[in-house]
Amino acid sequence: MSHKRATKRKAFIAAGGVAALGAAALILPNAMASQTESNEAAPKTLAASDAPDLAAQLQELLGDAFAGAYYDSGEKQLVINVIDGLEIDGDDNNVIIQAKQAGAEVREVDNSWSELQEGAATLKEQASVPGTAWAIDPRTNKLQVTADSTVTGENWDTIESTVKSLGTGMATIKKSAGTFKTFLEGGDAIFGGGARCSAGFNVVNAEGAPAFLTAGHCGVAEAEWSEEEGGAPIATVDAATATFPGAGDFALVNYNDPATQAASTVDLGNGQTVNINAAGEAAVGLQVFRMGSTTGLADGQVTGLEATVNYPEGTVTGLIQTDVCAEPGDSGGSLFTEDGQAIGLTSGGSGDCTVGGETFFQPVTTALAAVGATLGDAGAGAGEEAAGGAGDAAGAGEAADGGAAAAAGAGEEEGAAAAGAGEEEGAAAAGAGEEEGAAAAGAGDAAGAGDAGDAGAAAGAGDAGAGHEQGQGVDEQGVDEQGVEQ
């Protein structure tokens, strides 16, 4: 996320650009398409960023027959689940034909979407044990339940017995080596008292003034935020919007200076930015990128929807589950797609960018609706200080070296730890260009809302890899790895 004052003083990362979901309207075929045509229709190749929009259209079309959807990144196809044994006649027959004619692969499964939601509600009612989480996984047509390393003894028995009570084929349970925590410390770093977080996306608030979104646990922890540790506050949390725990993890933070120019970009470090041109929905299988001030740039896939996480501070619902890594200080940081859609705000998870883990994100669309804000360039000309669309940071289509995972894959030794650190000295610019130094970025630097830090620490700043210089951009292949110095 990036912004600047009227004085041209550079501050921190943001995002914006109001646009409709998806690249273009996807027109469904005529409802009178024949059964023969549907049988002959082969699934169509689809851009990952278009999958959530088509899935939403087909969910409305299919109604009770809908049982989830996911994006097959290998085949580049949208897979739509429908209930096995559904009476295929009349209108039901027509809508399934339309789903096929729209280009989706239609798969029959056992559990309906509503049944999976009911199962999640049972887990919340009977097994809200700290250190557990669950989400709907359309690929397995089950609830995926995870218990971290703190869940033992009676608590493990509770979650295990509740999963079994849901019935065979409804849920799976696994153990995580880490512990679920918020990542309070987070795009560009922001500092509040002893806490450090990441700014997520720049927005225009309901009054038309510049603001940004961040994690709710950051907004609850501190009311005023600065762009450098110990610096003068430049933004104040709208306390009425700060949500954590409960139905989400988000907060609106208003810039104190109404003349602040908040550009609709995400800062990738090394002078590179990505334009954010829309707010988009997540879909399982969607390739996503996360920017945080501790670990910089990382990527991965969405693995679950409608996730519930039982943090030490309380239960948070309605999140996106991913296999993207994050660490303390990254909280509130931006989750986005290669073509510039804002997807989420970093909440918390388990693991780190050395061993990997699960990370959960607040959906941006839900946060925007709740706070009454829109993505956009508050006080700035559209595109000012932006390096281009999502894909332009290294040049969409330019000859660059890498795929999306090349610079930021979870589990790589370099990982994303220095992905935003474009300074040869290895110190990240915690305020998009202002030196903060690597010291700000360690896990535990911040008195976190649930942990020592918030995943989003100093923009690209120094965790273990902060001495590496990586110039990265997002193109259609992903993030290009350029100029890595060791």
Sign of CA dihedral 295, 297, 300, 305: positive
State the catalytic residues: 217, 249, 331
Q: What dihedral do alpha carbons 296, 299, 301, 306 form, nearest 10°?
A: 10
Beta-bridged to residue 202, according to DSSP, are 212
End-to-end CA distance of the chain: 26
Give the span between the Cα atoms of 29 and 391, in whole angstroms. Answer: 31
CB 449 within 8 A of CB 216: no
Tokens of 380: 């700035």
Nearest to 419 by CA among 293, 266, 323: 293
How crowded is residue 124: how many other Cβ atoms within 10 Å of its Cβ?
Answer: 15
Q: What dihedral do alpha carbons 383, 386, 391, 395 form, nearest 10°?
A: 120
Burial of residue 229, with CB atoms counted within 10 A of its CB: 0-12 exposed, 13-18 middle, 19 or more buried: buried
Three-state secondary structure readout of 343-365: EEEEEEECCECCCECCEEEEEHH
